[in-house]
Structure 1
């Protein structure tokens, strides 16, 4: 009786092993089928929300800046639209700039006076030359509606500045090189400067009477207040250099000398000059 039972047990064991072997391919198949779903989940990218730009107004200068008379102040705003005075006076989203000199901000809803301390830019201007006596001043940029009613301190920005130096003729120029010249490469270029002082990049950053040279090859002058790029086309001379040697391909080229402050922010067209040269 023992042998038949052992035989039955052996048959049962073989059948069980065969069943488990048959189940393994199915398990692998299930894992392979599930793998793509796991991969898709892993490769999903979530773009984080971008922070909103804060509302308000600001100048193109910082607190403590030293500015020459005639310096071009720029007015900037985010959150409202600039429009001439009288345009939709009841529209809370439109208005124009006012410059307050050595005085307090006007409360919201109050009409801004028109005098030497309260300068209106009712044509919708977004810039103006600095015309203040020498010395230290507090200037406030204030936005108001079409009826000159202040939007209040929330839409104001104040900086303390020092006006230094009388208004003088400021310019940059090439020394010994003029428009239309035929030259050879490498070309040595000399930089000239009137009415400003040379200062290395990173130094005297808030002193708008100082700065350093940049040479732009086959490009345009940099707009006032914009940072001069740093690449093969825009060469920086941040150590205060007044001469440089550049390699140029044969043919016609434009050379633009651009002066900028200690933070590489351009002084604009006033302190730039462009010439054309032909390289043999």
Structure 2
């Protein structure tokens, strides 16, 4: 019976933590803020490992967890068929890569073929800004 109580308590605490994350308020985006790719260019042919450079206008870059007005950090969306939920923290997956240390470029390794890339800015809690600061989707062909 005692084990069941600890399991029930654990489930309750996990549920409360999840509800708290889901209820995080969204940070307003600075008016006119834009995120974009410096490289690669849309339609570029790239090697299996290539550099992706992120551009940002109208706001600054700050690491996750740092609460500075008009800042956020980058997330790289790779091959997503649908946009992620914009009202909760972005999950960390192979298709949603986090740059919570404030990085503005990375090396990406992908298999040969066509791939879509998109940038999305998150706040200190990895929640997309309101309205979302999201780039146009680009396509690269990995050779």
TM-score, normalised to structure 1, is 0.40
Partner of 2:25: 60
Match among 169, 176, 189 for residue 52 of structure 2: 189
3-state SS in 1 of match to 2:36: strand
Deviation at 1:269, TM superposition (A): 6.6
Partner of 1:178: 41
Q: Provide the C-alpha distance between the structure 2 equivalents of 1:176 and 1:269, rounded to a whole number of angstroms.
A: 24
Match among 31, 38, 61 for residue 168 of structure 1: 31
Q: How does 1:86-105 map to 2 (within 5 A)?
A: none
Is 1:216 the counterpart of 2:73 in the alignment? Answer: no
Instruction: Give the RMSD, CA atoms, in angstroms.
Output: 3.0
Q: Provide the C-alpha distance between the structure 1 equivalents of 2:119 and 2:64, rounded to a whole number of angstroms.
A: 16
Question: Measured at CA, do residues 48 and 242 of structure 1 come closer, stay the same or move farther in structure 2, by a change above 3 Å?
Answer: closer
Is 1:243 the counterpart of 2:112 in the alignment? Answer: no
Q: Provide the C-alpha distance between the structure 1 equivalents of 2:104 and 2:8, rounded to a whole number of angstroms.
A: 46
1:222 touches 1:269 (CA, 8 Å); kept in 2? no
- CA displacement 1:244-277 (0-9 Å, x = unmatched): 0010100011111111011111126731122111
Partner of 1:199: 62
Note the residue ranges of structure 1 that are not aligned, 5 or more in a row: 1-41, 62-66, 73-166
Q: Provide the C-alpha distance between the structure 2 equivalents of 1:224 and 1:195, rounded to a whole number of angstroms.
A: 20
Higher relative contact order (CA 8 A, sep 6+): 2
2:39 touches 2:51 (CA, 8 Å); kept in 1? no
Match among 120, 124, 139 for residue 258 of structure 1: 120
Question: Measured at CA, do residues 230 and 252 of structure 1 come closer, stay the same or move farther in structure 2, by a change above 3 Å?
Answer: same
- Structure whose CA Rg is larger: 1
Q: Provide the C-alpha distance between the structure 2 equivalents of 1:176 and 1:215, rounded to a whole number of angstroms.
A: 13
3-state SS in 2 of match to 1:215: strand
Question: Measured at CA, do residues 183 and 248 of structure 1 come closer, stay the same or move farther in structure 2, by a change above 3 Å?
Answer: same
2:87 touches 2:127 (CA, 8 Å); kept in 1? yes
3-state SS in 2 of match to 1:253: strand
1:259 touches 1:267 (CA, 8 Å); kept in 2? yes
TM-score, normalised to structure 2, is 0.74
